[in-house]
């Protein structure tokens, strides 16, 4: 489906446009693009779950393995009422490119259940999570497809899922899933990995982006796990956090705020609103926050937060995408014209999957690293890949997103071509 000016309206079709865009800068065999046009496999099921009152309810659930040429597929499981097949396929597509940008030996996948997890009891949530694993047991596996947490799933959910899978295969199988509690084979450093990754990317690009911590004002949308850790680390290095939001509202204080104190308040009352700041703080609608004066805007909530409706009014010079797909392709065009640098999701939030990869490696080896080793290994992956993306951006005179897709597509294409393309078979 396309809009009035011929642009695709479905999230998945929009995502695939990035592929065509990156291919223009590489000499890629058409076989490669053909293979990447559709997911390898997508499974949609109905989970029938016993509720606490004795009734049974059905939930739509999905898993998509997009491409596994570079290794087993990897991607989170999301619990959200809006989860649908288009979204799951898109997120799996993005994971394929994210794993390639970070040069991890993985393909991409994603899963989800259409559910409002807040409306279930803990026992119902456990039964639903175990039902998911029963339905997808033949689809996932430590050498096949390795899930992880995403929105509204957490380490306890991952622990239930690993336990259910282990019971089904008759042996402990921690490497089937990452993001587990530490006591069940989780990795140190996973909790803050995504936020830390974004922090490392921004710090590495400081001189390229002409940023000085003490003069840089930052707004973060979606003060959950990712935004909190990113804000905490940037604040610790002297950056000024001036705006934070969640699903219930936003706070904006040009004099700056302490993200640790705001999180303490949010944990106590469930929202950033009313948090203690310097007294110059204003409360506002969370969409309004995106349009306030700042130097760096960090969307870390949902897809499509910045669209052609609000992109014209963004005042930030840099946008770092910590959520997946927060900037739409139409918004990208506007931001590029306005010289706003967008650090793309497939680079900026790749710290999470990188430490998930470390968890999988440790589970398979049965040997666990200390937190310093995790931090060091994360930095030694994300910093050089950030430099690679920045160099491609300059070499090809493209925006950072195109550069990241060029880097990823080149790697995926080499792997697909290594199985032989038309040129090999016809010469
Ligand atoms: P989370 O559930 O911990 O936090 C999400 C936050 O966004 C919550 O505070 C929620 O209130 C807020 N929110 C929802 N709608 C909002 C809106 N319209 N305006 C402002 N705030 C809103 O989730 P998270 O783990 O921090 O993930 C955030 C984003 O980062 C998601 O898009 C996720 O897919 C992406 N991501 C997460 C990881 C990870 O490791 N957690 C890795 C890669 C990408």
- Per residue of the chain (427 residues), give pLDDT as tens: 666 666 666 888 888 888 888 999 998 888 889 899 999 999 999 999 999 999 999 999 999 999 999 999 999 999 999 999 999 999 999 999 999 999 999 999 999 999 999 999 999 999 999 999 999 999 999 999 999 999 899 999 999 999 999 999 999 999 999 999 999 999 999 999 999 999 999 999 999 999 999 999 999 999 999 999 999 999 999 999 999 999 999 999 999 999 999 999 999 999 999 998 777 889 999 999 999 999 999 999 988 999 999 999 999 999 999 999 999 999 999 999 999 999 999 999 999 999 999 999 999 999 999 999 999 999 999 999 999 999 999 999 999 999 999 999 999 999 999 988 888 888 7
- Would you call 74 a catalytic residue per the annotation? no
Q: What is the DSSP letter of 78?
A: E
**For residue 412, what pLDDT is reported?**
97
CB of 43 within 6 A of ligand 1: the answer is no
Distance between CA atoms of residues 262 and 276, nearest Å:
7
CA 115 to chain centre: 20
Q: Of the residues 11, 226, 322, 350, which should be mutated to test ligand 1's pocket, given the most ligand atoms within 8 Å of the CB?
A: 226
- CB 245, CB 272: distance < 8 Å: yes
CA distances (Å), origin 226, targets 58, 111, 194: 31, 19, 6
**For residue 9, what pLDDT is reported?**
66
CB of 301 within 6 A of ligand 1: the answer is yes
What is the DSSP code string of 10-52?
Answer: SHHHHHHHHHHHHHTTS---HHHHHHTTS-SEEEEEEEEEE-T
CB of 350 within 6 A of ligand 1: the answer is no
Domain ranges (residues) in the chain: 39-184, 193-348
Ligand 1 mean position, distance from CA 151 (Å): 6
Q: Which residues pair with 257 in a beta bridge?
A: none
Q: Of the residues 90, 150, 252, 292, which should be mutated to test ligand 1's pocket, given the most ligand atoms within 8 Å of the CB?
A: 150
Our CA angle for 187, 230, 354, nearest 5°, is 35
- Between helix 371-396 and helix 400-417 the angle, nearest 10°, is 100
- CB 107, CB 72: distance < 8 Å: yes
| Closest Cα to atom 18 of ligand 1 | 247
Distance between CA atoms of residues 249 and 271, nearest Å:
8
**For residue 41, what pLDDT is reported?**
97
Domains 39-184 and 193-348 share a fold: yes
**For residue 307, what pLDDT is reported?**
96
CB of 354 within 6 A of ligand 1: the answer is no
Strands (E), 329-382: 341-343
CA 34 to chain centre: 25
- CB 52, CB 123: distance < 8 Å: yes
- CB 63, CB 139: distance < 8 Å: yes
**For residue 6, what pLDDT is reported?**
64
Burial class (CB in 10 A: 0-12, 13-18, 19+), 41: middle
CB of 222 within 6 A of ligand 1: the answer is yes
39-184 folds as: Rossmann fold (3.40.50)
Q: Is the alpha carbon torsion for 355, 357, 358, 359 positive or negative?
A: positive
Q: Is the alpha carbon torsion for 92, 96, 99, 101 positive or negative?
A: negative
Q: What are phi and psi of 57, to 5 degrees?
A: -130, 145
193-348 folds as: Rossmann fold (3.40.50)
């Amino acid at each position: 489906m396309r809009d009035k000016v011929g642009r695709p309206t479905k999230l998945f079709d929009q995502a695939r446009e990035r592929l065509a865009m990156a291919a223009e800068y590489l000499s890629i065999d058409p076989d490669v693009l053909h293979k990447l046009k559709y997911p390898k496999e997508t499974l949609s099921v109905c989970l029938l779950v016993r509720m606490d009152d004795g009734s049974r309810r059905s939930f739509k659930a999905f898993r998509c393995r997009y491409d596994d040429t570079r290794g087993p597929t990897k991607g989170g499981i999301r619990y959200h009422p809006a989860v649908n097949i288009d979204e799951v396929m898109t997120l799996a597509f993005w994971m394929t490119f994210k794993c390639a940008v970070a040069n991890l030996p993985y393909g991409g996948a994603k899963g989800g259940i259409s559910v409002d997890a807040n409306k279930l009891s803990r026992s119902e949530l456990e039964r639903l999570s175990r039902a998911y694993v029963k339905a997808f047991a033949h689809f996932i596996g430590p050498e096949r497809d390795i899930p992880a947490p995403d929105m509204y799933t957490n380490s306890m959910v991952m622990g239930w899922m690993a336990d259910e899978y282990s019971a089904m295969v008759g042996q402990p199988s921690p490497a089937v899933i990452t993001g587990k509690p530490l006591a069940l084979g989780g990795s140190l450093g996973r909790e803050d990995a995504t936020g830390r990754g974004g922090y490392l990317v921004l710090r590495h690009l400081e001189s390229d982006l002409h940023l000085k911590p003490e003069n840089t004002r930052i707004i973060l949308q979606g003060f959950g796990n990712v935004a909190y850790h990113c804000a905490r680390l940037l604040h610790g290095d002297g950056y000024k956090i001036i705006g934070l939001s969640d699903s219930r509202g936003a706070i904006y204080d040009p004099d700056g705020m302490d993200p640790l104190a705001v999180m303490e308040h949010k944990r106590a009352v469930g929202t950033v609103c009313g948090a203690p700041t310097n007294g110059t703080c204003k409360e506002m609608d969370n969409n309004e926050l995106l349009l306030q004066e700042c130097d760096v805007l960090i969307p870390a909530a949902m897809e499509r937060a910045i669209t052609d409706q609000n992109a014209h009014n963004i005042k930030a010079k840099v946008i770092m995408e910590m959520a997946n797909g927060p900037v739409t392709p139409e918004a990208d065009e506007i931001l590029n014209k306005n010289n706003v640098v967008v650090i793309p999701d497939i680079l900026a939030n790749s710290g999470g999957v990188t430490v998930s990869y470390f968890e999988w490696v440790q589970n398979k080896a049965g040997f666990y690293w200390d937190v310093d080793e995790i931090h060091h290994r994360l930095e030694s992956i994300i910093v050089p890949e950030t430099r690679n993306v920045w160099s491609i951006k300059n070499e090809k005179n493209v925006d950072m997103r195109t550069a990241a897709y060029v880097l990823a597509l080149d790697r995926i294409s080499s792997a697909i071509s290594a199985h032989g393309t038309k040129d090999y078979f016809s010469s």
